[in-house]
Amino acid sequence: MTCDDLKTKVQTDKLALVYFGDLATREYTEAFLGAAQNPTVNEKFQFYHLNDKECAAANGASSTPALVLFRQFDTPTVVYSGNWETTPIVDFMVAQSVPTLIEFSEDYIEAIFGQRRQALFLFRSASDSESAFSKVFKEASDKFKGEILFVVSGVTDGIQQRLGEFVGVEEKNLPTMRLLDPADNMKKFTYSGKVEDITVEDIKKFVDDFKSNKLQPFLKSEEIPAETSDPLKVIVGKNFQSAVIDSNDDVFMKYYAPWCGHCKKLAPIWEQLAAEFKDVPGLVIAKFDATLNEVDGLDIKGYPTLKFYSRGAKNTPVDYEGGREFEDFKKWIQENSAAYKAHSEGKTEL
């Protein structure tokens, strides 16, 4: 490969890592090839090697062996200056594989959430892309590059709409700034000030307060529903503590997502179960929409998830893993609910 060949190739590659130098060295055989085989980066990058000192110099490397990262955004070439070991090289590649200021799209789901990287999001309308606060956010992204990812997004179209739903941001909330930590159970933090008046120093303090554990996470919740005679109770984020943890009831909870096929199949059975035990004092059959509500420390991995909170042991619920038919649930409650047993014994005495 010639230097002109390399130039042609990297002009069409989104991301590429090039080794300049002798192929017989440890830097190539261990460090570079180790990075090229690493699953974190090997599908996103193209890898090339060229023993050409003049070509290396033309691309910013003053000596060889050298590694130069090529990309189609920000500064087009970045010279690696760390240790010749695979891990720091991969870390360098990951850090340089996203723009300083990211416009959120499908392309960056893996870079943010898959790689569990902390990110500061500015949610704004398209008409605010040239606003004063957007320019301040851009300035902060340049100034604090490497400390946290900086991302801008709307909430009305495609993947950006789904992101807004996940974070709990609607169009009426714009503009707003949220910090997401995928490495810590996807915790979300809301900037409490007025975004339109934000300064670079405000952004710096918000990030510093997060890193110092001074912020309280934002938790999504629907409004507490009005009391009804429906045997199946609806629990939301705002009343979870009082209705489940602090109550004296046994609570059998279904965590669901409205779009989940298995949840839809279970729905009539769950309603039947609630009707079956509606006259048992101290026993509650409930449901919780886990797409619109959150509870600190509660991590729902899949839908539906069923948990039984027995009185006196509310902080250590039992995960229900039995059958999903009505009779399965009925028998399990009869065997495990203290409220049902007390009610049953009372009826027997009478």
pLDDT of residue 344: 84
pLDDT over 70, % of the chain: 99
Structure tokens at 125: 């309308």
- Is residue 140 within 8 A of residue 204, CB to CB? The reply is yes
pLDDT of 267 over the 90 cut:
yes
pLDDT tens for each residue of 79-95: 999 999 999 999 999 98
pLDDT of residue 349: 52
- Partnered with residue 190 across adjacent β-strands are 178
Confidence of residue 347 (pLDDT cuts 50, 70, 90): low
pLDDT of residue 350: 47
Whether domain 232-349 has CATH 1.10.357.10: the reply is no
pLDDT tens for each residue of 192-228: 999 999 999 999 999 999 999 999 998 889 999 998 9
Q: Decide whether 101-211 matches 232-349 in CATH topology.
A: yes
pLDDT tens for each residue of 109-139: 988 998 889 999 999 999 999 999 999 999 9
Round to whole Å and give the CA distance between 90 and 270.
Answer: 49
- Partnered with residue 283 across adjacent β-strands are 250
The average pLDDT across 17-31 equals 96
Round to whole Å and give the CA distance between 325 and 151.
Answer: 45
- Partnered with residue 181 across adjacent β-strands are 187
Domain ranges of the chain: 3-95, 101-211, 232-349
The average pLDDT across 302-308 equals 95
Q: How do 305-309 and 250-256 pair as beta strands?
A: antiparallel
- Partnered with residue 20 across adjacent β-strands are 50, 66
Closest to 296 (Cα-Cα) out of 253, 256, 241? 241
Round to whole Å and give the CA distance between 111 and 117.
Answer: 7
Round to whole Å and give the CA distance between 168 and 336.
Answer: 36
Round to whole Å and give the CA distance between 309 and 306.
Answer: 10
pLDDT over 90, % of the chain: 84
pLDDT of residue 145: 87
Whether domain 101-211 has CATH 3.40.1790.10: the reply is no
pLDDT of residue 62: 93
- Is residue 258 within 8 A of residue 293, CB to CB? The reply is no
Question: What kind of fold does domain 3-95 have according to CATH?
Answer: Glutaredoxin (3.40.30)
Phi/psi for 46 (5° steps) reads -95, 145
pLDDT tens for each residue of 138-148: 999 999 988 89
Closest to 195 (Cα-Cα) out of 115, 103, 125? 125
Angle, helix 338-349 to helix 326-336, in steps of 10 degrees: 80
pLDDT of 27 over the 90 cut:
yes
